[in-house]
Amino acid sequence: MQAKVKYSIAIPIEKINTYRIFSVFIALLTALSMAFIAFATKDDGWEHLLAIGSFGPLSWAIFGTVFFKKNKDWYLRNMIAFTLIAGIALLFLGQWVGILVIVLSILGIKAIAIPRILFTEENIIFPGLTKKYFSWNEMNNVILKDDVLTLDFKNNQLMQFNINEKDNPGLHEQDFNNFTNKWIED
């Protein structure tokens, strides 16, 4: 049985701009594929409608992600969702590249999710494709001060993260530091 999470602290995504560019590139290729299929199918059958139906929302999301400064992450999430839907549509159209688009979309969703470090009474859990667990006895110190989270490991590894207050509402430095000190001292 896993221990209850006492603190969940959001940390910034360091490579968000790289993920954004890669996601826009994949979405753009998918949109171009859908446009090609829409124009290549001469009839007004369901293939034509499916391609056009996928192209429109995907193009809107790409435009929003690239050109709008406000709500950029909202557009990015929508773009990835529409890319996933377009990948499924590509599979229905008999295009096996849809599998690649689906896989890349799922990885994109995972990449832009706000990573959170979880603190339990038993361990510290780091986010990633696979979670990393660190027990409290591996730590020299864990401290939150002036919106900087510092994790000092006994193996001389040091990690620091700038914490954004709006991503971590209700996080109180003193309470958090009291919690971590209790488990490091035990």
pLDDT tens digits, one per residue of 106-116: 888 877 788 88
Buried b (16+ CB within 10 A) or exposed e, 163-182: beeeebeebeeeebeebbee
pLDDT tens digits, one per residue of 1-13: 467 888 888 888 7
Terminal Cα-to-Cα distance of the chain (whole angstroms): 21
Identify whether the C-beta of residue 102 lies closer than 8 Å to the C-beta of residue 137. no
Give the span between the Cα atoms of 141 and 137, in whole angstroms: 10
Which class in CATH covers the domain with range 115-185? mainly beta
Q: What pLDDT shows up at residue 2?
A: 63
Give the span between the Cα atoms of 107 and 23, in whole angstroms: 10
Displacement of CA 106 from its chain's centroid (Å): 10
Q: What pLDDT shows up at residue 186?
A: 65
- What is the residue-averaged pLDDT of the chain? 82
Q: Is the pLDDT of residue 42 over 70?
A: no
Q: What pLDDT shows up at residue 160?
A: 92
Identify whether the C-beta of residue 142 lies closer than 8 Å to the C-beta of residue 124. yes
Q: Is the pLDDT of residue 43 over 70?
A: no
Give the span between the Cα atoms of 9 and 117, in whole angstroms: 5
* Residues sharing a CB contact under 8 Å with residue 143, sequence separation 6 or more, in sequence order: 149, 150, 152, 177, 180
Would you state the structure tokens that stand for residue 58, as one six-digit string? 């995907």
Give the span between the Cα atoms of 118 and 123, in whole angstroms: 8
pLDDT tens digits, one per residue of 45-104: 667 667 777 777 777 777 777 777 777 777 778 888 888 888 888 888 777 888 888 888
pLDDT tens digits, one per residue of 112-147: 788 889 999 889 998 877 889 999 999 999 999 998
